[in-house]
Amino acid sequence: MTTLNILHLYPKEMNLYGDRGNILALTRRAEWRGIDIKVIPFEPGDKLPKKVDIIFGGGGQDSGQEKIADDFKRISSDLKILIEKGTPALLVCGLYQLFGEYYQPAGGKKLKGAGIFNLHTVASRDRYIGNIVLKSKKFGEIVGYENHSGLTFLDEFEEPLGEVVSGFGNCGKTDEGIIYKNCIGTYLHGPLLPKNPKITDFLLETALKNLGEKTELKELDDEIENLAHKVATTRPR
């Protein structure tokens, strides 16, 4: 049986608004296809595992980001190597911000990011909360829930995850998130993956491809997932 190792970054501090549900979605959709999943929680001071097939990191409060900031600097170069070689990843909210150049909290010191994403984030006085719908070239319609005060500015040459149909997104303009190589950054909580199985399967397929495994995943009955997706699109912001 094929085993995929998921590196879960800072689950104690960076796990708001159901982000752990993304790990559950990856695990279940893999197991239903006969793929074994090993989740490796990573906390400050830990040593990065030698084998990483998928990277996941969730959101957290500014205080949580400050707690992990120094340790995150320690592993940033290793994470960049993993991303550059094509390791699939999903970074939500707080870790989406820290994968960029920097995050400037309101009234706090600037937190240096990993510089993997060509973007930066500045906290605003407002908070952007509610359901959000995106139109993505890669994944079609994406639904989720955003809750952030950060305004994220992408370099003009970077590819966003999707176009905002309803909601706020990166900075209240037209785009949300980012796609870089096989890495996805986004503000969408909810959690994201149970309602968007195409993204879940992309992460799994890419991880298998990197291992030289068969990448055509067995089709699943997504009736419940599709219903959850549809309901999410009807909820007012």
Active site residues: 93, 189
Asked if 237 contacts 130 with a C-beta cutoff of 8 angstroms, the reply is yes
β partners of residue 119: 154
Handedness of CA 12, 46, 55, 60 (dihedral sign): positive
Q: Is 144 helix (H, G, I), strand (E, B) or coil?
A: strand
Residue length, the chain? 237
Asked if 145 contacts 131 with a C-beta cutoff of 8 angstroms, the reply is yes
Q: Is 58 left (phi over 0), alpha (psi -120 to 50) or beta?
A: beta
Eight-state DSSP code of residue 14: S
Radius of gyration of the chain, Cα coordinates, nearest whole angstrom = 17
Q: Which amino acid is at 36?
A: D
Q: Which amino acid is at 73?
A: K
CA distance 151 to 153: 7
Q: Is the peptide bond before 191 cis (omega within 30 degrees of 0)?
A: yes
